[in-house]
Structure 1
């Protein structure tokens, strides 16, 4: 095997942090030869605080938006897939944040990091210090406790997010991306244009794109659960070892599209091409590497 996961530890944040952080994933991986993974798009922020072997994060559309030779970085919301490349032994903690949570924790509008991977030491001094503290902790419990303390301190010091934006996000997320942008705007008392501009600046992407990504994430996660089984190490299903839908009890593409809020199968396939770089059928084949969550 090209990459072997030697440790995978899921940690639950302090209960006070649960509205902002779902879980921590501690990992250690040995990669014998260069391994390239395709990371799917998503309306979330990924924070990697790692040590050991560095990796490259590459946006095929614009290489200058990537990060190279890093083991601690932040990736903002992405509206297309990117790739990572690594070799050697690496370890770290992965933290996934929703855009409203990331807006508060980072203290900056996410429009500044959309479709970008930024080294931790190039983004904020506290992130670089936190990586060192996490790496120096004696065990995973100590690392997760340090994350709890740092994130709680950031949230306590952060200003609130505009409640109208939060309401728009909650309605959109609660509908699984099905809520119409016009209805969102009406609910918060803004015009569609003003909502789109504010949403994009603060949360990184316009509501229409976020809605598409939410539907895609649901379909991608469903694909992983039904074809692959439960993810093995807390990261999202790396679609790639199960039979194509329609065989051995798996769902057909049209059924999957309907269940996940798509108009038809062609729209599902279009979004998979754009957000994951390939069709669902191809991603269901063996050795389709991905580590982003669905």
Structure 2
């Protein structure tokens, strides 16, 4: 069963906030029957501030990690896929934050949020819950986005940046698509590998090695998603190419995405998306998370 997306509105944050928040995504979506989505893993933090139909966020590995009957929640970095389910009219705003931005804006060490979805009213500070109420009362999207600007700007003014060495570690991982070695990264920071792993996991949610794997996967997953926007060729047109149009098929695609071989690509897709890349491409199925 699919949902009808009645409205999607993209808001551009104040220029001073764009290093922390790339965009605001407002939405109105109608699911007349129960709608279940598989959400891929990712080295990012999802913030949903909603005022419509509630939903469940379920981690198949452990029920206690999910959030149930919530309209607003924060999901920390996840190292496996989860599912969401809802029925009715969903209304809200979605933000995707990098771990350093989320650590500062939320004011919570992401080690407390990793592999968890938490209703906003259960967070230590109630500012997100109050903001959700103000967003629901606002008459239109421009005023909602202005409220977000004001609230996030106030948070940034009141909180301290993350340790600059952790910020550097994140930028190196993100800039290389997770391809920098953890030993090399630790040497650059003047830390031991162990100290880097402990501090990174505590403040930014997951171990740096896992984060690197997720960043590499996100690039591959996004490439598969872009391919779904292009009509698949017929067998005659394909000339032996895969769904992505590469003569070398998935093996070549794996190498382009930074994988040692195709088997490592398939392993990560199974773990982080719950399906092989070929299955996703052939079915046209893609998570609402960007990967």
Instruction: Please give the TM-score of this superposition, normalised by the length of structure 1.
Output: 0.93
Distance 1:281 1:20, change over 3 A: same
Whole-Å separation in 1 of the counterparts to 2:200 and 2:258: 22
Contact kept? 1:100, 1:166, Cα under 8 Å: yes
SS of the equivalent of 1:285 reads: helix
Aligned to 1:150: 151
How far off its partner does 1:242 sit? 5.3
Does 2:269 align with 1:277? no
Aligned to 1:135: 136
CA RMSD of aligned residues (A): 1.6
Larger Rg: 1 or 2? 2
Aligned to 2:43: 43
Whole-Å separation in 2 of the counterparts to 1:290 and 1:164: 33
- Give the number of aligned pairs: 283
Distance 1:186 1:39, change over 3 A: same
Contact kept? 2:54, 2:86, Cα under 8 Å: yes
Contact kept? 2:43, 2:77, Cα under 8 Å: yes
Whole-Å separation in 1 of the counterparts to 2:148 and 2:38: 27
Of 245, 257, 265, the match for 1:260: 257
Q: Runs ≥4 in structure 1, deviation > 6 angstroms?
A: none
Render the CA deviation track for 1:159-209: whole Å, top value 9, x for unaligned. 121111111111111111100001110011000000000000000001000
Aligned to 1:197: 198
SS of the equivalent of 1:284 reads: helix
How far off its partner does 1:247 sit? 4.2
Query: Following superposition of structure 1 onto structure 2, how do residues 106-255 of structure 1 map, counting pairs within 5 Å?
Result: 106-123=106-123, 124-229=125-230, 246-247=241-242, 250-251=245-246, 252-255=249-252
How far off its partner does 1:140 sit? 0.7
SS of the equivalent of 1:22 reads: coil
Does 2:99 align with 1:99? yes
How far off its partner does 1:2 sit? 2.6
